[in-house]
Amino acid sequence: MRLPVRVYPRAGRNEVARNDDSSLSVRVTAVPEDGKANAALLELLADRLKIPRSSIRIVRGRRTRDKVVQLDGLTSEDLTRLAGSAGR
């Protein structure tokens, strides 16, 4: 499953929110230097979805805030769980 994501680096805390259009808004505390914010995004999504980090990758937008991530083996129930754990 491919999912659009808007990333906000240098946030006060790590947070995931699901938008009305089925995209995600993700806030990460990491800085957008040397791929640190991208790595934080992938780790946060893997943690929230309880799936291996190797199942998630950025397929578009490595250098921009607007990204598309590939989530292998993801179900709609997993997305519901992600929305339910927002802000943790």
Amino acid at 55: S
pLDDT tens by residue, 28-45: 999 999 999 999 999 999
pLDDT at 46: 93
Q: What is the CATH number of the domain that holds 15?
A: 3.30.1200.10
Number of domains in the chain: 1
At 18 the three-state DSSP class reads strand
Residue 83 has pLDDT above 80, yes or no: no
State how far the Cα of 57 lies from the Cα of 9, in Å rounded to an integer: 18
Structure tokens at 49: 């979805």
Reported as type and span, the H/E element at residue 84 is helix 76-84
Closest CA to 46 of 70, 13, 22: 70
Task: Give the C-alpha separation, 13 to 19, whole Å.
Answer: 18
What domain range includes position 61?
A: 2-84
